[in-house]
Structure 1
Amino acid sequence: MTGNSQATIATADEAGIARAAAVLLAGGLVAVPTETVYGLAARADSDAAVAAIYRAKGRPDFNPLIVHVIDLAQADELALFDERALRLAAEFWPGALTLVLPRRTGAGLAAAVTAGLETVALRCPAHGAMRAVLAAAGLPLAAPSANRSGGVSPTSAAHVVASLGPKVDLVLDGGTCEAGIESTIVALRPGGGWQILRPGPITGAQLSAILGGSSDVTASGIEAPGQLASHYAPGKPVRLNAPEAAADEFHIGFGPVAGNVTLSASGDLAEAAARLYSVLHEGASAEQPRIAVAPIPQDGIGAAINDRLKRAAA
């Protein structure tokens, strides 16, 4: 579709939800808010619709997509859930956890969704607007972050418009995303092992409490979104662990380091995660040609923040 000269924005009310569902059912692209970031949604059963996601994002075709579902019953039609997966879904769905599971034979997904893998990444989101769109459309939706591939993820409708413009048929404006960073992605391995493929709001400690054992973030082949070495990039050099900034650097602070702008003056990691992409967007548009970021603790959700920053600096 995408024939407009500029992005069309609709409020995430009843009329906007109905309009979004109609666009999706017709094979178009809709940017939809979730509790993590805005997603660029398309019907997951259509090769043409999924191809439009890749074209709009300029996304490498070896990078799989997350499929968003309304509930466990819909997810069970697409993937094989063992007892561990059912425990995780019961604890964290709806929410910011993506499960990488064996894809069911005859799942009815476009081939490009799984990028040729035998697994599929599934998430049941909690955000009211995304859930309403899923219910109105009545089918699973593939939805990576609604921005150009490799760039800073969008946490507002304005971010989507600035990044994708007329490449998206409709932007559903539901305000600012609460969590601010993408979902945690966990892969369940045969034999009882598990691996965090992308850290996020659900921490390794929370997963260990359900699954037992521990997991390290993998640096192996691409199995899920967000694993590319260079990702979330603001288009400028980024220097990490910088308690002070040079004259030509836009300084992103944290805690006692004030910076030009701060992730959290109180040192709150949840607040820092929610603000991360917003301040990276601010740094990208600042007059300084470089960006420096204050040290961020590795504890809890800090691991996810540092993961994003490391890839932004790559």
Structure 2
Amino acid sequence: MTETRILAPDPAGIIEAAAILNAGGLVAMPTETVYGLAANAGDDQAVAGIYAAKNRPAFNPLIVHLPDLAAVERYAVLTPAAQTLAARFWPGPLTMVLPLRAGARLSPLVTAGLSTVAIRLPAHPLAQALLRECGLPLAAPSANPSGRVSATRPDHVLAGLAGRIDAVLDGGACTVGVESTIIAMDGAAALLRPGGVPVEDIEAALGQPLLLPGDPATPKAPGQLASHYAPEAGVRLNATEARPGEVLVGFGAVKGQLALSETGDLLEAASRLFHVLREADALAGPGGAIAFAPVPEQGLGRAINDRLRRAAAPRP
């Protein structure tokens, strides 16, 4: 079990938090909305650590926190409408789902393999200071166990995650107290989650209504489709050996052409999942198939299996 340290909201605390993040660790940081569980968004293993700490059951996209628009341009494409919202609401409690920039160095666990990325510029001075000190894009879902109430104070973070994360940067109580509003901006502007910025204010800035959940044209929330960004090859699960024409992806005692983890380590398997899916798809080739060895339905295994079931689901 990790000893979770409380870091003071001063230059020394910020420097220590940045060092932990650069070393691949996990730090709960304050934002104006809720505390976020931050990790280097370009480090597969660090991002997998977020899922492990939160016991998060599915690899849904994570929000990437950045300090300024110059940083956003390195990872995402700002459409004209997105630039309008950025000028009005950033930094602040607004997240925009934007087209992923080609060559962006983000872990596919952050984007869940999608061609979009969720971006936010937090307004909290400590979050801004930490982002600038560490120089990293930070993936930071709410700092609480999956399915539990979001944390708005350091003691809330410790109640759920003490011993699972490296540190909490103590910023006191969050001022907004609800998560950011999420708007899809990779097509027609659509509301994915209400939050800290009122929908009416966003619509006023855009000069048009948002598509709302339930509208036929509204994109589904990322990661919710049964068949979700599956590889070209067919996928078979719980395989102990390959059938003719299959690429076998091993785990633990089941050996294959590729492996999620030869030692049966779920953290390693999670960090490698999307990379292995792509590699296996390339090896399988047109009309080919991929077989995955069984992965335990526990801890991070639940999230891995959720993604594999989506990959194996019947295609629309």
Q: Which amino acid aligns with 2:142?
A: S
Q: Distance in 2 between matches of 1:36 and 1:114?
A: 21
- Is the 1:198–1:217 contact (alpha carbons within 8 Å) kept by the matching residues of 2? no
Match of 1:126 in 2: 123
Q: Which residue of 2 aligns with 1:76?
A: 73
How far residue 61 of structure 1 moved from its aligned partner, in angstroms, is: 3.1
Alignment partner, residue 170 of structure 2: 173
Q: Which residue of 2 aligns with 1:215?
A: 210
Residue correspondence of structure 1 range 1-314 to structure 2 within 5 A: 3-4=1-2, 6-190=3-187, 193-218=188-213, 221-223=220-222
The structural deviation recorded for 1:60 is: 2.9
> How far has the Cα of 1:98 moved from its partner?
0.4
Give the deviation of 1:214 after TM superposition.
1.5
What is the TM-score normalised by the length of structure 2? 0.67
- Aligned-partner Cα distance in 1 for 2:185–2:221: 15
What are the superposed Cα offsets for residues 64-106 of structure 1, whole Å, 9 maximum, x if unpaired?
Answer: 1000001001001101111111111111111111010010111
Secondary structure of the structure 2 residue equivalent to 1:37: coil
Q: CA deviation at 1:10?
A: 1.2
Distance (Å, rounded) in 1 between the aligned partners of 2:109 and 2:213: 23
Alignment check: 8 A CA contact 1:61 1:112 kept: no
Structure 2, unaligned stretches of length 5 or more?
A: 226-316
Quote how far apart the aligned CAs of 1:58 are. Answer: 1.1
Equivalents in 1 of 2:175, 2:211: separation in Å? 26
Letter in 2 for 1:222: A
Deviation of 1:9 after TM superposition, in Å, equals 0.8
C-alpha distance in 2 between matches for 1:177 and 1:81: 28
Q: Tell me by how many angstroms 1:221 deviates.
A: 3.4
User: CA separation in 1, counterparts of 2:138 and 2:15?
Assistant: 15
- The answer to whether the Cα contact below 8 Å between 1:12 and 1:174 also exists between their aligned partners in 2 is yes
The one-letter code matched in structure 2 to 1:124 is L
Return the offset for 1:210. 1.5
Deviation at 1:7, TM superposition (A): 2.1
Q: Percent identity?
A: 54
Is this contact kept in 2: 1:197–1:223, CA < 8 A? no
Runs of 4+ in 1 over 6 A off after TM superposition: none
Distance in 2 between residues matched to 1:30 and 1:213, nearest whole Å: 39
Does the aligned pair in 2 maintain the 1:93–1:126 contact within 8 Å?
A: yes
CA distance in 2, matches of 1:31, 1:156: 10
Query: What is the SS of the residue equivalent to 2:162?
Result: helix
Question: Number of residues paired by the alignment?
Answer: 221
Counterparts of 2:212 and 2:151 in 1: how far apart (Å)? 23
Question: 1:189 Cα deviation (Å)?
Answer: 4.2
